[in-house]
A = this chain, B = another copy of it.
């Protein structure tokens, strides 16, 4: 009934003393109960309840070399694209008793490198990256640190360690092929200016075979940037028939701007986004887009890291998770 004996946090030492057992027995009763008799476990748990003991994971980790933390590095929290991945990653790791430490690079390679060093200083049991590790020094550090690393949302022939992603270049090519199959001649690109979005642009142009009018806007791209971008594109090419947008949020903006200018979608202008956001299927017209299983990336990455932490090897350390074009109303008939 009375509160904790002192103002300081109880240690395992206190628990052991109150339970009348040795330190290590108390430790085992809590973390490896199968090695301890039920009676002892009960007494230890009684002492834990009495003292309000919570283990100090820093101390445990120092000795056991397992921090039960995973570092997660993203460009910025405001990039909606990665949220399902991060949410699933965090949840799956949490179920296994691991927490995520978050770091944001702001798409800056120098910050990415500094962040990786900071993270390694915490001795995480694994590291998750959205995108690839860009700095060579950071790659070397990670390899030397010997922890499981998952790069994601991109593809590389030489990953640092493991990878779950797909080729953005291929996405661009697929969209261009899709546009071409529709018979459209005058097409444009409204894209954020981040490395992966640029790869999609390059893929698009590679398949398209000639330069494509492109409006590049700063990342992260949103509705406002989409409106702006359509303005830019129409100034370059007034008889535009179709636009590929580097995010569904941006496509929403292009749609709004089109409607504001009296252009009908898809009759006058067709639209394809990227990301298959929650809202895309419910827009009017419903938005054609590229689906990527973001939650799946988070889930697989978590599993890969957890397997490695459990000492198992991962069968497929490099997974191409693919993508698919989802055709909806916004590209339903060839305009013009």
Contacts and interface: CB of A to CB of B under 8 A. Distances in A.
A183 to B, nearest CB: 29
Contact of A123 (B52, B56, B87, B249): B56
A7 B101 CA distance: 25
B90 A102 contact: yes
B83 A122 contact: no
A205 B116 CA distance: 50
A83 B146 CA distance: 32
Which of under 10, 10 to 19, 20 to 34, or 35 or more describes the interface residues of A?
35 or more
B62 A59 contact: yes
A293 B110 CA distance: 30
B102 A57 contact: no
A54 interface: yes
A7 B256 contact: no
A101 to B, nearest CB: 5
SS class, residues of chain A in contact with chain B: helix
A62 B52 contact: no
B223 A278 contact: yes
Contacts of A90: 77, 102-104
A69 interface: yes
A92 to B, nearest CB: 11
Contacts of A62: 56, 58-59, 62
A253 interface: yes
Contact of A224 (B118, B120, B281): B281
Contacts of A22: none
A324 interface: no
Interface in A108-148: 115, 117-123, 141, 144-146
A24 interface: no
A282 B259 contact: no
Contacts of A87: 76-78, 104
Contacts of A224: 278-279, 281-282
Contacts of A227: 282
A69 B101 contact: yes
Contact of A145 (B9, B94, B120): B9
A58 B282 contact: no
14 contacts: A54-B117, A55-B121, A57-B122, A59-B62, A62-B62, A77-B83, A78-B83, A80-B80, A99-B119, A99-B122, A100-B102, A101-B101, A101-B102, A252-B279
Interface of A: 3-4, 7, 9, 52, 54-59, 61-62, 67, 69, 72, 76-78, 80, 83-84, 86-87, 90-91, 94, 99-104, 115, 117-123, 141, 144-146, 222-224, 227, 249, 252-253, 256, 259-260, 278-279, 281-284
Given A57-B122, A58-B61, A259-B284, 20 more contacts: A4-B144, A52-B141, A54-B121, A56-B62, A56-B123, A57-B123, A58-B58, A58-B123, A69-B101, A77-B83, A77-B86, A78-B87, A80-B80, A87-B104, A91-B104, A99-B118, A99-B119, A223-B283, A227-B282, A260-B284
